[in-house]
Amino acid sequence: MKRFQYIALVGLLVLLASSVIPWITFSIPILGKIDFNLLDFFRYTSDISREAKGSLGSSLLLLSMLLYGVSIVLGFIGMLNKKLCTTAGIMAVLSGILFYAAISTIRSEATRQPSGWLVVGLINAGIGPAIAIIGGIIILLAPAIRDF
């Protein structure tokens, strides 16, 4: 294996690890803290897509999930092709950024609803999207590594 492939593999492993780290946290006073990772979101894709018709936040959430999935596939293929590795890294970074934008949009959409201000205080983004961004940056920078 070439050096860039090892670096891309590390980035891909970081990206995969981000899927089991909390992406969103609900802090409910009676129940405590409830975490949802990206795998949980993939289980509820049909519910999210149903809500996406009327919500920009849900649409951004679905786009983030789609980009994440594509970045994983391209990351594996990108270990053989430097150009695909760059594309996978960009998609992973965008996935994390779009997730933060989705949470922000969902919070602002919730404030427009009656008693929505209660929901806004309960929703927080987790560390998972940041880990996905870090993995994407590693994958993105892997092709820049020169073999000696």
Cut 0.85: pTM above it: yes
Tokens of 141: 């920078």
Q: Dmax of the chain from CA atoms?
A: 62
Q: Is the pLDDT of residue 52 over 60?
A: no
Number of H-type helices and E-type strands within the chain: 7, 3
Q: Is the pLDDT of residue 108 over 80?
A: yes
C-alpha 140/C-alpha 11 separation (Å) is 9
- Arithmetic mean of pLDDT, 22-29: 85
Pairing relationship of beta strands 123-125 and 22-28 according to DSSP bridges: antiparallel
Q: Is the pLDDT of residue 24 over 60?
A: yes
- Arithmetic mean of pLDDT, 31-48: 80
C-alpha 120/C-alpha 104 separation (Å) is 9
pLDDT band of 16, cuts 50, 70, 90: very high
Q: For 1-14, what is each residue's pLDDT tens digit?
A: 788 899 999 999 99
